[in-house]
Amino acid sequence: MSAKNKVLGLIFASMHDSSVIDLTKKRTMGSIPFGGRYRLIDFPLSNMVNSGITEVGVITKSNYGSLLDHLGSGKEWDLSSKNGGLHLLPPFSHVDSGMYRGRLEALNGVWEFINHSDAEYVVMSDCDIATTIDYKAAIDFHKETDADITVIYGRYAYDSNKNHTANVLGIDENGRVNDVMVNPQISGECSISLDMFVIKKDFLKNIVITSVSRNQYDFTKDILQAKKDEFKIMGYEHKGYFSKIDTMNGYYEANLELLDTEKRNKLFIKTAPIYTKIRDNGPAKFGLESYIKNSLIADGCIIEGTVENCVLCRGVKIGKDAIVKNSVIMQDTVIGNKCSINSVITDKNVEIGEGKVLTGSKTYPIYIGKNAKI
């Protein structure tokens, strides 16, 4: 990619932390485990790398220790080079930066880093969408339409009773965004923003400087809504599979959707792999009396009981005569002998003692916090 067309990637790791507050008490949205062996940040980061973006900044807010541990130097994403590479941008990392209230303040806080890049274009993404997307096509669309801002959106069965952080777009016949609704009280298939944007760096600089000087910090309300007639804001439709994680139930459903082979193959595409941190686990081990049905089992698991319709992260142990169904079990959780677990989300390092019975429902799964012992 020539210097003229070079692209800087920016990932907001904490932008939707409040949507799944149980999962983000001790971590950012970006470091939430997903799909057995991944973290949510793996998706935007891998998409950027697969699209030829070699310089990426990750903007964090708080509780970013696990994110730092997961990303390391960026070598798993081939971003450990001296030129470009992966940059972690915590709050207070620059003079005059602090805890931001919204995307515009976050950008202002790390503007020194953005300004230092010789990129002409910026691609921004949050971490609440699990999808595989080619940003090159969106960037080409941005150039061809001479847009000021391109919003990447997807068609989605929106329900105001279930979705709590959706921005629904109105798009005219020319692809221009003519309306932006925040959490509207409607239901049905809609065009929803995937909170991914393409924008020229110089244009971004102008709107950040202008907005911050007016105490404006919300990109959706102060730019997309307020300036939709003044700026040329175009919508680029992403037609691939995606899941939006904006509630605990949404997180639960998005994981269990991966048990559908067709959907899993649409998310994990061989030509555009999703990279993640390598952990030195041995292969999963299955006892002689174990029974597995329709489940994703990560490496390092030891299964001696029954597992049905579950997603198990790395290093999970299921005891003898235990029955675990319709559940998302995170890393290094131990479920004792003769337990009965149904519709449960366990966070990391949970211990469930012998013979315990925990039953949630598919609409209200039980959540057990990190390091809990039951």
- pTM of the entire predicted model: 0.93
pLDDT averaged over every residue in the chain: 91
Residue type, 264: R
Alpha carbon separation from 93 to 65, 109, 110, 219 (Å, rounded) = 15, 8, 8, 21
Domains of the chain: 7-267 (3.90.550.10), 285-368 (2.160.10.10)
In 3D, which of 92, 119, 126 has the Cα closest to residue 203?
119
Sign of the C-alpha dihedral, residues 218, 109, 23, 189? positive
Q: How many whole angstroms separate alpha carbon 338 and alpha carbon 323? A: 7
Query: For residue 146, what pLDDT is reported?
Result: 97
Q: What is the pLDDT of residues 127-177, one digit of tens each?
A: 999 999 999 999 999 999 999 999 999 998 888 777 777 899 999 999 999
Q: If you ran DSSP here, which 8-state letter would residue 208 be given?
A: H
Query: For residue 83, what pLDDT is reported?
Result: 65
In 3D, which of 263, 268, 306 has the Cα closest to residue 37?
268
Query: For residue 2, what pLDDT is reported?
Result: 45
**Residues whose CB is less than 8 angstroms from the CB of residue 143 and which lie 6 or more positions away in sequence, other chains included:** none
Q: What is the largest CA-CA distance in the chain?
A: 67
In 3D, which of 140, 197, 146 has the Cα closest to residue 167?
197
Q: Do the beta carbons of residue 370 and residue 364 sit within 8 Å?
A: no
**Residues whose CB is less than 8 angstroms from the CB of residue 325 and which lie 6 or more positions away in sequence, other chains included:** 306, 307, 308, 309, 310, 341, 342, 343
Cβ-count burial of 316 within 10 angstroms (0-12 exposed, 13-18 middle, 19+ buried)?
buried
Q: How many whole angstroms separate alpha carbon 188 and alpha carbon 163? A: 12
Spell out the per-residue pLDDT of the chain, length 374, in tens. Answer: 444 569 999 999 877 666 788 888 888 889 999 999 999 999 999 999 999 999 999 998 777 888 888 988 888 998 877 667 999 887 654 445 456 788 888 898 888 999 999 999 999 999 999 999 999 999 999 999 999 999 999 998 888 777 777 899 999 999 999 999 988 888 899 999 999 999 999 999 999 999 888 988 889 999 999 999 999 999 999 999 999 998 899 999 999 999 999 999 999 999 999 999 988 888 999 999 999 999 999 999 999 999 999 999 999 999 999 999 999 999 999 999 999 999 999 999 999 999 999 999 999 999 999 999 99
Query: How many CA atoms are closer than 13 Å to the CA of 83, on its beta-carbon side?
Result: 5
Helix, strand, or coil here: 6? Answer: coil
Q: If you ran DSSP here, which 8-state letter would residue 23 be given?
A: T
Strand partners, 200: 121
